[in-house]
Chains A and B, each alone.
Chain A
């Protein structure tokens, strides 16, 4: 009896602890999952996010003239599980802390994150490819002396040949160096 009276009295003294939101500020914890964002620089269109998305919110469709693809996230069906972020090999998906998602119903289909990503021709053979992002290349060829900048604009086949020839050249140079010394 006295216990709850004490609690009530203390509540009265301490005053309300209500957030002034939506008329004032509120807080967002750092780990909050808000809107999903795609970094079009990094996306390769591999489809891992489409496969892992539990709510089928992500869609990758090739353009009709096969010159690229569009990647779409519909926020109205995204359940913020962040598995796309977890499985994306390129790290292109990210979850922002922006949770202001309430909207009038006529904007229902406007709540989309959409990026059209164009292919570029291979500088050697001219096949349409999506060039690997530079950070990824740097990571892939970290152990060898291949210059990632040079092979970036090549299609996978030409890249293999180019990388192999670079490695051979380098090792030849190394061998020559060793002989000279």
Chain B
């Protein structure tokens, strides 16, 4: 195994999470905060860390239905995240629009603009479901690195 492959295999154990709020009602954001702050869910045991800067991120968690005002900003921040990145849509809003679907100010669902890799439906999803999605995102990241089929 070459050094490069070894580093890549290791890298999956350190997924840094970054939240983008695309006009969410904050319900999903609160659930994301619980995964980090409440000892019962403790996302740090997978080596995750919520980082503040998009440049440090590996897994992007998008919440909210992508409002008209947020669209360009979300796209800009998303393009600032270095490859390889895995995008997770948290909650029903980014996946399909949820209760805001077809609203006058909604430009979502988010996969019109951004390739989403993992969906976690729920309004909001349980913290355990979010942990599940992070683990799923890790396996997708391995696939993106070309190490797993």
Check if B117 is an interface residue, CB within 8 A of chain A.
yes
Assembly CA distance A81 to B128 (angstroms): 19
B-facing mask of A34-61, CB < 8 A → 1, else 0?
Answer: 0000000000000000000011100000
Chain A residues within 8 Å of B99, by CB? 54-55, 79
A69 to chain B: closest CB distance in Å? 23
Q: Are A100 and B129 in contact (CB under 8 A)?
A: yes
Q: Are A102 and B117 in contact (CB under 8 A)?
A: no
A-facing mask of B108-149, CB < 8 A → 1, else 0?
Answer: 000100011111111101101111110110001000000000
Check if A75 is an interface residue, CB within 8 A of chain B.
yes
Query: Are A55 and B92 also in contact (CB < 8 A) when A22-B128, A99-B128 are?
Result: yes
A106 to chain B: closest CB distance in Å? 9
Assembly CA distance A54 to B126 (angstroms): 20
**What is the interface residue range for chain A against chain B?**
20 to 34
Chain B residues within 8 Å of A55, by CB? 92, 98-99, 101, 123
Q: Are A102 and B132 in contact (CB under 8 A)?
A: yes
Chain A residues within 8 Å of B119, by CB? 76, 102-105, 107-108
In chain B, residues 25-76, which have Cβ atoms closer than 8 Å to a Cβ of chain A?
Answer: 39-42, 45
Query: Are A102 and B133 also in contact (CB < 8 A) when A19-B41, A76-B119 are?
Result: yes
- A residues sitting closer than 8 Å to B (CB atoms) are 16-19, 21-22, 26, 32, 54-56, 74-81, 99-105, 107-108, 111
- B residues sitting closer than 8 Å to A (CB atoms) are 39-42, 45, 89, 92, 95-99, 101, 111, 115-123, 125-126, 128-133, 135-136, 140
